[in-house]
A and B are shown apart, each in its own frame.
Chain A
Amino acid sequence: PSLHLPRRMADEAPFQILHNEVIQYIYTSAENGETENGRNITKLENMGFRVGQGLIERLTKDTARFKDELDIMKFICKDFWTCVFKKQIDNLRTNHQGIYVLQDNKFRLLGQLSAGKQYLDQAPKYLAFTCGLVRGALSNLGVKSIVTAEVSIMPACKPLVIHRQVTY
């Protein structure tokens, strides 16, 4: 008899497990220390960047050009996020001056972490690749950006907030 799992496609687990394994690899092959941590975060972010570029290229092959930046951000929130995480971004806010805040209330890649201090300490590792994904996707769509992410400490849901800032 099979377990009752939440509905999700069979191709989610491989990526999630691979993502975890990549993080373990990056971190165990390096020494501890502040500079190392920063370097590792950068490595993960850069990997995500390349993947984001490749992915968006495939995803937008047959798509008409975007009207404007907001149109692009909506695409990221709907199509791109669904492609990667099987759900859309829950909330998009902007100041209409280049800063966008994307909120995911159930970010899938933090699954292994338990709530508490460890959670906040470890979370950046689990966000770096995704930030790179978004930055890479935007880059291929002609938008330069800085993408940062944070998580809230609420244990019930795990919101991911992405700030994207256009740089000129």
Chain B
Amino acid sequence: MSRQSNRTTDSKKMNSELFTLTYGALVTQLCKDYENDEEVNKQLDKMGYNIGVRLIEDFLARSSIGRCQDFRETADVIAKVAFKMYLGITPSVTNWSPAGDEFSLILENNPLVDFVELPDNHSTLIYSNLLCGVLRGALEMVQMAVDVRFAQDTLRGDNVTEIRMKFIKRIEENLPAGDD
């Protein structure tokens, strides 16, 4: 069986597996360290925030996307550029609120959870909660305060994974960032 033919594809796919496997090891470690799922969820969000704050630089440098005009454009960039670039998937953007300040990202499949099953005693674990923190941290660096949460999760029995994003407010550039 030849393994030469798809070397580049394999290599790229494998590298995303490096991330997902490492992420899995991290979640496992957090579950060991913390008493309950709520604590793990919080920690994942916090770490995600720290990652987002740094990842945005890589994203902006790599994608040469200019400033988004509005939240709709932001949503499109997140789904069609960022998710594609880093996770290799393009979630759909739906369920806009009438005010245009809230939308959903629907992920048919979530690469982070390939081969993952939640054990029975972790039914309230939001396994991919890192993503919420990443989005929140990244957007804060481009002057947007947002609220991000999982509305549906295939690991917890839903058909799709749904991330709900809500625009809170614009952050003035010369104020210090929110969390630390």
Q: Does B58 contact A (CB under 8 A)?
A: yes
Contact A11 B29 (CB under 8 A): no
Contact stretch, chosen from A54-62, A117-125, A144-152, A154-162: A54-62
The residues of B that contact A10 with a CB separation of less than 8 Å are: 58, 62, 85-86
Contact A13 B58 (CB under 8 A): yes
B interface secondary structure, majority:
helix
- From B2, B29, B43, give the contact of A47 (CB < 8 A): B29
The residues of A that contact B33 with a CB separation of less than 8 Å are: 29
Q: Does A106 contact B (CB under 8 A)?
A: no
Contact A63 B22 (CB under 8 A): no
Contact A15 B19 (CB under 8 A): yes
Q: CA of A116 to CA of B10 in the docked complex: distance in angstroms?
A: 38
Contact B62 A2 (CB under 8 A): yes
Q: CA of A59 to CA of B17 in the docked complex: distance in angstroms?
A: 10
The residues of A that contact B21 with a CB separation of less than 8 Å are: 50-51, 54-55
Contact A25 B47 (CB under 8 A): yes
The residues of A that contact B11 with a CB separation of less than 8 Å are: 82-83, 86
The residues of A that contact B28 with a CB separation of less than 8 Å are: 50
Contact B54 A17 (CB under 8 A): yes
Contact A47 B86 (CB under 8 A): no
- From A24, A50, A64, give the contact of B25 (CB < 8 A): A50
- From A2, A3, A43, A55, give the contact of B29 (CB < 8 A): A43
Contact B51 A21 (CB under 8 A): yes
Q: Does B109 contact A (CB under 8 A)?
A: no
Nearest to A2 among chain B residues (CB) is B64
Contact B62 A17 (CB under 8 A): no
User: Smallest CB–CB gap between A39 and chain B, Å?
Assistant: 12
Q: Does B50 contact A (CB under 8 A)?
A: yes
Nearest to A80 among chain B residues (CB) is B14
Contact B61 A9 (CB under 8 A): no
Q: CA of A6 to CA of B62 in the docked complex: distance in angstroms?
A: 11
Contact A83 B14 (CB under 8 A): yes
Q: CA of A18 to CA of B19 in the docked complex: distance in angstroms?
A: 8
The residues of B that contact A84 with a CB separation of less than 8 Å are: 15, 18
Shortest 7 CB-CB distances between A and B: which pairs? A2-B64, A13-B58, A47-B25, A3-B61, A83-B14, A51-B21, A54-B21
- Given contacts A2-B61, A64-B1, could you give 15 more A-B pairs where the C-beta distance is less than 8 Å? A3-B61, A5-B62, A10-B58, A10-B62, A10-B86, A11-B16, A15-B22, A17-B54, A26-B29, A51-B24, A55-B14, A62-B3, A63-B3, A83-B11, A84-B15
